[in-house]
Chains A and B, each alone.
Chain A
Amino acid sequence: MWLRHNPLHYLLLAGSLLSSSCRAVFSDEAFHTDFQVQLFGTALDPSSTFFHQASAGKAGSLLYTLSNRLIIGAINPKDGAQVWRQRLGEGTVSETNDLSKLARLRKSKDGRVVSVFDKAIALWDAATGRAIWEYSASITVADVVTLEAENLLVVALKGGEVKAIKLESGEIAWETLVGEGRDVASNFNFVDGRLFLTLSEPASKALKTVVISPATGAQLETFVDGVFGPSDTHVLTPQLLPVTAFRDSEHLKLNTLGTKNTKSLAVDSKFHDYRLHAVTKDLLFIEYWARSADSATSWADFYTIKDGVVTKKVDLPYENGISVFSLSDTGSGILAARVSRSDIRIYGPESDAQVMAFELPSMLPSEPIHAVTEVVKRRDGAIAVRAAVTLEDGNMVLIRNDQVVWTRQESLASAVAAEFVDVHEVEDALEKTLHAEETSNLVTAYIKRVTRHIGELKYLPGWIAGFQQSIMGIFGPVAPIDATVAKDPFGYRKFVVFVTRFGWVTAIDTANRGAVVWTIQLRTAHILEKDIKGIFHFGKGVVVVVLSTGDIYKINAITGRGIHKTAVQILPSASVMTIESSTTDDRWIIAVPVKEGVKGWFWPNDKEEELTKALSKATLSRKCEGSSGICGYTAKPTTDGRLILTPTWSFRLPPNQKIVSISTRPAHDPIASIGKVLGDRSVMYKYVNPHLALLVAAAPSTSSIYLYLLDTVSGTVLHTSIQNDADTTRPIVATIAENWYVYSYYSNSVARGTQLVVTDFYASSTKNDPGHLLQPSISSYDQPRSASPYGISHAFIFPHPITSLATTTTRQGITTRSILLSVPKLGSLLSINKRVLEPRRPVGREPTAEEKEEGLFKYDPFLGVDHGRGSLSHIRDLVGIDKVITTPSLLESTSIVVGWGIDIFGTRTSPSEAFDVLGRGFNKLALIGSVLAVGVGTMFLRPMVRKKQIGQRWAQ
């Protein structure tokens, strides 16, 4: 049989062979092309952040923290490096939960820390972060206390159950039920060998204290201490104090345990908040603050507790500015530190005069929220302070005396939106300049070129440095040069702009190991994910952030300067999108409200004619009211920035189905070839439609998931598929690109487990049939039934749950795609080549020679994890990567990938191998060496040969 050969096939075959035999990351590229920003998240509560000895008897302590993303861990206070971290609750953080009531981290005995989250208690080795034991309670844990002498951890559950767990083994030592399950437990106090549990009795509105024997768990005494009104709530009280604190809207009430003695301090909760600190049982320190921007205040009071009586001793000065207090006792006396944006001041408990003040050389980037400090008074009276300060922007800094030692960008763990910005797009206006040179006359063109060349001289030092580096790099590894100076010829340098929950916008540089380039505050204190209407790349290095309040921030993404801030009146439920003029560089932000008959908005509200032109052929689509489906509109601008919206189509789900996700093809998704070449050199034409949207809906009542492929211009349903026996409570994720989509769900069918399903769409089921594909132009409205796509699917079983799916994108779309899977169980970002997820793979038989030539191989339903070849994150341990974004580089082979969530992981990937770039493994030394050797050889041989030739002529 004669095989037909085509050079293209060889290329593809070689590519497929390479990609199947090569690794996703070469070992010499690991840690060079990728970066990871290891994050904890912002410290949740000052009581859950502390300096603590890592192991008993060892000098030097680590900084332990519990974050708003439920990560616990230890930080080396010297350099801010992560020592260890663990995740609580498997990432079940919902933004609205008041986490500081559910989660806490406490010191325990012998270099251990204990963590509590909701119903789970765990004891961790403080030095290594290994779990010693874990205990899961039946209901939410109210408080825990470590009893050092008894070697017990006592746990109070909300319902009044008290359990003592042996620190060594995790076994229950004793348990008791307080208050017959009617009372609500709040907190423990451990004073003078007596364990007090404070409860509130909802029926009789009484505050109750029960004394429990630490050794046996016997309930020794019960006191009814006072009235716990319906508006009262418990206040977190240090466990070593003999008082318990609760509050109503106007008072802070301090009840001395076991007595009816309650001291009431008047505090207006509307404006002021407070926090209780203590390091010994006879000194109570209360800090007060008000954070509102126009009337920020702070002060603090020392109280002594003697014989159950709380008396004010010293009040530290009231200031009109934000500062936070921390109490510390390192054996050299109790000292309070007051940390403000510009200084740290130390106060003693004896007087309101400051003992010491450390002026910071520059202001902190934002106001502090809380701080933990260690203040040491040396024998000679000198005072040294170390403060771990959590800032309003979500970051943590460590200040030693008057120096900021390190900053951890913990706010990035609370990012709610991210967008790529091309740096080269801004710098390289080359294409345009060249075009201008072409069109203008000879003289001006020449002048233009010369001026351009002079302008480019600024890159010369960087280029020389880079050249030197690359020469030196031949002989061994060198330190990377400053990425900001050198030009980026391959387009690897992208900024990722994040909007964080704290109302800040931060950009990181992918070419500089994820270093923060700039950060800027939006004039909004706190942002939830739903508050962000969108972050849009507005071209030319400008990003626009739109909030649900209608605030629009236009930011220069290269310098981080705010360009423009404006507010338009947008309904909070409106969908915001961006539209680009096809003829000019203009772009607009469009807001489409959810309510029918309400006008939309556009911004900037000028150049209406251009916008009219841009909108004339456009269909806007968004989720319908109540998320019941997708609605499409056409829009026409009117005066003063309003849009008249006309509903054109809607696709509504049946009432038992809920939208899980809607995905569209990526903004940059070129299709290089409209057909797929088969082994016999015939063509299967792809279904090419730029308006595809994949709606995934779940019906929990019937445990099914539904996939609808829609055309967002006409609203036509192009393809539907149903999966029964699906677990709708587990993550269902999908990604769509080119002419295919991939989704993953958990199946309860016979093939139980996570399934990864791929569907490819072709224009026709027959070969060489382009359908309507070869017309010069196509309209979505002019699609007969016969033009509906032909879909083929394969399903694969994947061993681990997948929380996020994404697709690589390259500049021209020639390179095969890779599907990126975020697998939290493995802590990895995996990449699977689309050639593996190929629905044309033959089932149940070996591929024929033609199929082999096409690159198909036998279908195997089990898709194992190939750690060597498939893992982009190689040996890194990624935590909480639940969103993955990709962007093309200037090299066709390479796509830039950034995953975010808690950690930030960035890398470059070449799904079809780096065919257009020399790898790091390329031996430049050998190349240059052989060129030199040939040169030297020629130099030596030339006279010899000449002499021989002359000799020959004489001999003739």
Chain B
Amino acid sequence: MAPSQPAWVIDLKTSPNSRPKAPSNVADPPGYSAGSSSKKSQKQITPPTQAETDDLKVKKAWEVALAPAKSLPMNMIMMYMSGNTLQIFSIMMTAMLFMNPLRALSSVGNTFSKFDGESTHSRLLTVKLAYIGLQILTIVIGIWKVNAMGLLPTTRSDWLAWEHAPVPLETSISNFR
């Protein structure tokens, strides 16, 4: 426990959105049982420590970061089910598979900004990395899908159109009549 602080310091440090204390000079309304709530308020009053808040934030951040992992199996199943034919649905789904992670990747900072603080910043790094890794994994599924659809130029035949026959150095003229 930290040494006792002046009231204004405590006022200052408590989060601004915490409920303002009921003015003590006003009597409780009749029937209001202070006993049961006073215990709670007793607990609430003890503010979470900085470390606790940080832990909580990081924990929350992990939850956000691991959310794509939950959708991975679903994505995989969906991709498998949609088949490799070039149809509007499979194309749209595959496009989403790229769009969503890319959008998420472009706003990694935003996504974690509410968990970001001086103390959590360094700890959030691994969280972000996990998040980015999972998004990339989703993209990998997308690539795998695109490859399965035959849209990646991975084979010799994909480059055939740019290959040309050599120019013959000689000419031949003939008449065999």
Contact = CB atoms under 8 A, between A and B. Distances in A.
A771 to B, nearest CB: 11
A528 interface: no
Nearest to B152: A4
B167 A778 contact: yes
A623 interface: yes
Contacts of B170: 617-619, 691, 713, 779-781
Contacts of B148: 2, 4
A618 B171 contact: yes
B85 interface: yes
Given A690-B168, A776-B167, A681 B155 contact: yes
A724 interface: no
Contacts of A689: 168
A153 interface: no
Given A674-B163, A675-B163, A777 B169 contact: yes
Contact of A2 (B84, B85, B161, B167): B84
A817 B92 CA distance: 38
Contacts of A237: none
B150 A576 contact: no
B172 interface: yes
B39 interface: no
A839 interface: no
Given A577-B175, A619-B173, A780 B160 contact: no
A617 B169 contact: yes
Contact of B174 (A664, A674, A680, A683): A664
B177 A575 contact: yes
Contacts of A712: 172, 174
Given A617-B170, A770-B163, A662 B176 contact: yes
A452 B155 CA distance: 48
Interface in B132-177: 148-151, 155-158, 160-161, 163-177
Contacts of B175: 534, 575-577, 622
A80 B157 CA distance: 58
A664 B84 CA distance: 45
Nearest to B86: A5
A840 to B, nearest CB: 15
A6 interface: yes
Interface residues of A, number: 58
B157 A682 contact: yes
Contacts of A779: 168-170
Interface in B31-62: none
B174 A4 contact: no
Nearest to A711: B172
B166 A5 contact: no
A630 B173 CA distance: 13
A622 B84 contact: no
A681 B156 CA distance: 7
Interface string A615-643: 00111111100000010000000000000
Contact of B172 (A6, A713, A775): A713
A653 interface: no
A167 B47 CA distance: 131
B160 A677 contact: yes
Interface residues of B, number: 28
B156 to A, nearest CB: 5
A5 B85 CA distance: 8
A876 interface: no
Given A577-B174, A577-B175, A579-B173, A681 B157 contact: yes
Interface string A747-786: 0000000000000000000011010111111111100000
Contacts of B169: 617, 777-780
Contacts, number: 128
A357 interface: no
A66 to B, nearest CB: 30
B77 to A, nearest CB: 16
Contacts of A688: 165-166
Contacts of A662: 176
A774 B150 contact: no
B168 to A, nearest CB: 5
Contacts of A576: 175
Contacts of B164: 674
B168 A780 contact: yes
Contacts of A690: 168, 172
A8 to B, nearest CB: 8
A7 interface: yes
Contacts of B176: 575, 621-623, 630, 662-664, 693
A675 B84 contact: no
Contacts of B160: 673-675, 677, 683
A267 interface: no
A671 interface: yes
A776 B158 CA distance: 20
Which among B148, B161, B177 has the highest number of chain A CB atoms within 10 Å? B177
Contact of A691 (B85, B155, B165, B168): B168
A927 interface: no
Contacts of B167: 776-778
Interface string A541-581: 00000000000000000000000000000000001111100
B173 A617 contact: no
Contacts of B168: 689-691, 777-780
Interface string A4-42: 111111100000000000000000000000000000000
Interface in A657-688: 662-664, 671, 673-675, 677-678, 680-683, 688
A621 B166 contact: no
A3 interface: yes
A70 to B, nearest CB: 24
Contact of A674 (B150, B165, B171, B172): B165
A781 B85 CA distance: 48
Contact of B156 (A2, A579, A617, A682): A682
Contacts of B150: 3-6, 9, 681
A178 interface: no
A527 interface: no
A590 B149 CA distance: 56
A622 B174 contact: yes
Given A621-B174, A681-B158, A774 B163 contact: yes
Nearest to B167: A777
Nearest to A686: B165
B151 to A, nearest CB: 8
A517 to B, nearest CB: 26
A578 B173 CA distance: 8
Nearest to A670: B165
A406 to B, nearest CB: 36
Nearest to A672: B161
Interface in B70-124: 84-86
Nearest to A692: B172
Contacts of A768: 156
A683 B157 contact: yes
A767 B171 CA distance: 29
A579 to B, nearest CB: 6
B15 to A, nearest CB: 44
Contacts of B163: 674-675, 770, 773-774
A773 B164 CA distance: 8
A578 B175 CA distance: 9
Contacts of A767: 156
A677 B157 contact: yes
A204 to B, nearest CB: 48
Contacts of A713: 170-172
A481 to B, nearest CB: 40
B150 to A, nearest CB: 4
Contacts of B151: 5
A687 to B, nearest CB: 10
Closest 5 CB pairs of A and B: A5-B150, A662-B176, A778-B166, A681-B155, A677-B157
8 contacts: A577-B173, A621-B176, A671-B165, A675-B156, A675-B160, A683-B160, A691-B168, A776-B167
Given A618-B173, A768-B156, 6 more contacts: A9-B150, A575-B176, A617-B170, A664-B176, A675-B160, A682-B156
